[in-house]
Amino acid sequence: MLLCVVRVYRQGRKLSEAELRAAVGVVGDVRTQIVQINGKAVRQAVCMGGSKESLPPLIEPQLTGISPLALGLEGYEEAHTAEGIVFYRQGWWCRTR
């Protein structure tokens, strides 16, 4: 099922309700999977638009809410900075199209 996915945080700061409603989402198929990272099994959610990832993976996602037309996932997103790799809190607001 295709969903419109909006990122809830920007560099760890939660967006306001007005910013969330104005945000342009990414349309894709949301899937969860288990991947091996440094020999450790890690859960992640991915949003696939077409045949490629449309958003960075959401690491160790947890379901935070569900309704007939939407669901919420929260976890962590990896970011590469000048200081190295950092992990920011991230959430996805997934709505039906």
Q: Is residue 49 over pLDDT 70?
A: yes
Q: Is residue 52 over pLDDT 90?
A: no
Question: Whole-model pTM?
Answer: 0.88
Please state, in angstroms and rounded to a whole number, the distance separating the CA atoms of residues 30 and 49: 9
53: confidence class by pLDDT, cuts 50, 70, 90 = low
**The pLDDT value given to residue 45:** 96
Q: Is residue 41 over pLDDT 80?
A: yes
Please state, in angstroms and rounded to a whole number, the distance separating the CA atoms of residues 70 and 59: 20
Q: Domain boundaries in the chain?
A: 2-96
Please state, in angstroms and rounded to a whole number, the distance separating the CA atoms of residues 72 and 7: 10
